[in-house]
Amino acid sequence: MNKKNRLNQSGLTLIELLISITITSIIVIVATSILVKGMNHYNTVKTENSLRDEADLIMVKLYRELYTTKLSDIEEIKHVNPLPDGTFSDNYIKYKETISPGTNKRTGFIGDKLYFREKEYIFQNDKVKLNTPTKKVNNYRN
């Protein structure tokens, strides 16, 4: 009877158990790496979209500001603080006082900030940094 019981016992040997644990570990490692890469890619795309949305918003505001401004309302276009490489750190439009009595409001890039009629634009995304030096474009008043 003792021999019969040994032959009828079903179960796993130590080798079978080690092989199944190894295969399961490999599957878990591959699945985890795929999940982590997917999450990193999602965060990258989310950040890029946020920055693109911020840039679109800024461009729409600048376009609207410049498109709706009459040439007769502009006092001067300034390109100041020249840098050795031929770029400028400040580029803005100064409006005439008749538009805003008592002040000469400016729209543009002043230092490392962006202004719309003297109001500083607060970036929604803290990762946005202005690359301040810009090349002077042709001045249409010359």
Write out pLDDT tens, residues 80-116: 766 666 666 676 777 776 655 666 677 777 777 777 7
**pTM reported for the whole predicted model:** 0.57
C-alpha 111/C-alpha 118 separation (Å) is: 13
Instruction: Return d(Cα 25, Cα 20) in angstroms, integer.
Output: 9
What are residue 73's DSSP bridge partners?
none
